[in-house]
Structure 1
Amino acid sequence: MMRKNLIYGALILCMGLLLGSCSKNDDPKTSELAGTWKLKEKGHTEVVWEAPSDLTLEMMGRKFPASMLSGYLTPMLSNLIGNALQGVTLTSDGKVKTTVYTDAAKKTTAVSEGYATYKDQGNGRLMLYFTDKTFSELKNVDAQTLTQIKAALKDGVPVRYAISGNSARFYLDTETIKAMRNYLPALFSMAGGMPPQVLKGLQAGLANVVEKSTKIELALNVER
């Protein structure tokens, strides 16, 4: 249960796993990020997907226009994330702590730490890293796939952010998602909770759809 919730936290910010470390960031802009960010009650997860009208993805025996993926994925990921994660704390020295729900009724929580670090690069950009502790708990991922993901993402996953008052939007932009396109189905699979027929369709055609789409953003809207 804890492992699955931690992966939900990863999906929120980067939908990717990587091996790395993060030293203390002396940039004063770090203070803008530091603090506890909780999911907004409404609209906390947002998928933006723009694509040519004739681009389709086959799932569950049907062909879905790629332009409809935003309306399909937003509520599905919102439900998965909202039931698993209460919030994320970014410390001033670059650590990431997640507060996850430990029961279906969302009445009790637990804090997980030591799984991820970050480094603020300023100008609305940060790099997110996951530690060996995360990889050691991914028991359902074959060694070859895990090695490929580590190699592809060894330099970190860039995450964009925009802060306005007590609200913030953390998101992956089109360039980052396209660079990760071959590994997205495996990352969805690690999170769990996705219908098998949907996952099968993503494995077969998602990489091609991502490559040909014009704009994709996966965003988390939070507040403190």
Structure 2
Amino acid sequence: MPYAIDEAMATALVTLYPRLVQRSPEPVKVALQRLLDEEHARRGVPDATGALNPLALTQGTLLKEEFDLSTHAHHAGWTLGALIADVKGMIHVNARHGFPAGDAMLRAVVESLRSQFPGAKLVRLQGDNFAVLLVPTSGLTVTEALREPTRSRLSADARAVLPAGAEAPDFTLALLELTIEQPTHWQVLGPLVWGELERAYTLERMGNAGGLQKRRLQLGGFVPGRSEP
């Protein structure tokens, strides 16, 4: 282990992840590795699929530059488009073709989304659920017209890496246009965006979305200039 760890730090590490380490023969090592992995995720290091961990969005600086470059954000609102893609029946893909094939398919999904939306940020919300963030600097906007072409391309690209004879997977796709009015600080954007992504996907999965979802959140963070006496 490349770090000198005293007893107090070892206790703190194990306390951070009690369930993770309860059956491990090397609990301190396992806890330290998890801590390092989470820090890498916050810094925007992609995972094995090539997508970003949600921690980059909720606790990292993923949206800082986007906020800094949006000089209009305090007055006209900060707007983000998003497409959420969830693989249907991923458990069956792994059961029929094995986990290596399933992992290859997830990498193909990420690469497909990246090629379809250059300049967007790609976050892995759940194991087989990915969000494409059409941030302001990407120059991309979200419309209902994206749904079917994206679904068709995803199915084709995912099918291409599966064994011969395998069925092309289907996807649940949710579309969201989110405007945050008068955001107080860039650090509030990530958790808000994450929550709205989860909400948009849930509504789509339940059949209650009705197409492109549009949301406006009012934060009231505008600070007026000092008035002269």
Question: TM exceeds 0.5?
Answer: no
Shorter-chain TM range is: under 0.3
Which has more radius of gyration?
Answer: 2
Greater fraction strand: 1
Normalised to the residue count of structure 2, the TM-score between the two structures is 0.22
Greater fraction helix: 2
Normalised to the residue count of structure 1, the TM-score between the two structures is 0.22
